[in-house]
Chain A
Amino acid sequence: QSVLTQPPSASGTPGQHVTISCSGSSSNIGSHDVNWYRQVPGTAPKLLISSNNQRPSGVPDRFSGSKSGTSASLAISGLQSEDEADYYCATWDDSLNGPFVLFGGGTKVTVL
């Protein structure tokens, strides 16, 4: 089964720019849109970015997404204390075992 790889942690001071990567393969990120979710521990995840770079209503424009080849990134500009959370990428995979949804392992963002 394919895997989406994210760094386990990322951090920055208030106001800094933080980027989280999500690496996959041709059967997932290389062929399909990437979505990002934000989860504050103890609560349900929320959709943060859809279709690689689309922000749902209510998501601050400090959050942006991009995709190139078999990798995607989530960028947080002007980091704020409330951005402390876990962030997950997700996409569709249509390899031999598929089709199915893959989540990345998650990245914990800490605001120093």
Chain B
Amino acid sequence: QLQLQESGPGLVRSSDTLSLTCTVSGGSISRTSFYWVWIRQPPGKGLEWIANIYYSGVNNFSPSLKSRVAVSADTSNNQFSLQLTSVTAADTAVYFCAVGWIQKGHASFDIWGQGTMVTVFS
């Protein structure tokens, strides 16, 4: 059974870059049948999709965040990562990583990490 765990700093200074890593266990991130996902949830608000990461390298990003987002995959450590540049208080949120099966579509996220809270301070 796949398990995902987010890690990264809980505090990020305004205008800096937020960097998070999701460590995957129980399966390889190189499996082409999977895609890997970043989602966030500001305090008291709903879910906001950030990016889908595919083994093919053809990734998809939220139009509102695309200019500030970079993602990558580290197959040697079975991890994938998120970088969000020029952060502001509006980027304060719980950040989740998740996984989906391509055959079930690109918005069906079967397994989620527990989430990690990131607070942007000035």
Residues of A near any B CB (own CB < 8 A): 1, 32-33, 35, 37, 39, 43-47, 50-51, 56, 86, 88, 90-92, 97-106
Contacts and interface: CB of A to CB of B under 8 A. Distances in A.
A51 B108 contact: yes
Interface of A is mostly: strand
A51 to B, nearest CB: 6
Which 6 residue pairs are nearest across A and B when measured between Cβ atoms?
A: A101-B49, A97-B63, A44-B112, A106-B46, A50-B108, A103-B47
Contacts of B106: 92, 99, 101
A88 B64 contact: no
A100 B52 CA distance: 8
Contacts of A100: 49, 60-63
A1 B104 contact: no
B63 A32 contact: no
B89 interface: no
Pick the most buried of B106, B108, B109, B115: most chain A CB atoms within 10 A of its CB.
Answer: B108
A103 B40 CA distance: 11
Contacts of A46: 112
A72 to B, nearest CB: 12
